Amino acid sequence: MVVVARVWVTGSVRGIGRAAAESLIDDGHDVLLHARNEQRAEKALAESPGAIGVVIGDFESMDDVRRLAEAVAEYGPLDAVIHNAGVMEDGSFDRPVTIDGLERTFSVNVLAPYLLTALMPRPERLVYMSSGMHMSARPDLDDWQWERRPYNGTQAYSDSKLAIAALGRAVAERHPDVLSNVVDPGWVRTRMGGASAPVSPAEGAATAIRLATDTDASAKVSGKFFARGVPRAPHKLVLDRAFQDSLLATCEKITDTPLR
């Protein structure tokens, strides 16, 4: 059974995020969109006219992320947030930085959802989008920003997807009142995944939608890592409390915001 929920989907202009938003709207849910600038916000609303609104903020700016948390609060209590927005540098060996001077992949894929989770009132459900590539992670806990190592964009992406999976698990362990889960959507036909990917955006969004809205027992779980629609074992570090603590300490230090 599905009841009407109020859901915020980050990165909902295209790809998995747009597919999730459209499916949720079609099912009668109240959906709040997210875009990184005015132009993309207009596009999102035009393509998803059933949405209750759109909030604007670039995940490359921590100030923007803080403003996003305030803007979302104006839409009232949320039932769920799908943390979908993300970037991948596609194998680049040139370390990209944000306006804040932070390595771009870690900033967008990890720090932004961390900060939103820390600042926003916790909804009943949180869904964090990871990737099967998290299994290839080789994180340096003293160099998440790639300031000392030779930069590798693909590795930075894998490491960031391990980090977001660990964040989702950490929230579940520290806040049993929240259903917090992580999803590997598969290799999806998006701009990031490419035209040859076997999974459609709608298929890639399906598990996140179910975890955000369904009331059956299979969706009312927490601390799980889902791939191909079912719980699976993630990278061992996702479940490692010491690794979680180290990651959260790094995020707190950079953002000057604790995850309570």
Q: Give catalytic residue positions.
A: 157, 161
Alpha helix segments (H runs only) across 74-231: 104-106, 112-119, 153-174, 201-213
Among 207, 228, 235, smallest CA distance to 139 is for 235
Phi, psi of 33, rounded to the nearest 5 degrees: -90, 170
Q: Measure the CA angle with vertex 62, ends 255 and 259; round to 5°.
A: 40
245 Cβ neighbours under 8 A, 6+ residues apart = none
**3-class SS letters over 13-64:** CCHHHHHHHHHHHHCCCEEEEEECCHHHHHHHHHHCCCCCEEEECCCCCHHH
Take residue 3 and report the two structure tokens written for it: 């009841």
Contact by Cβ (8 Å): 208, 227: no
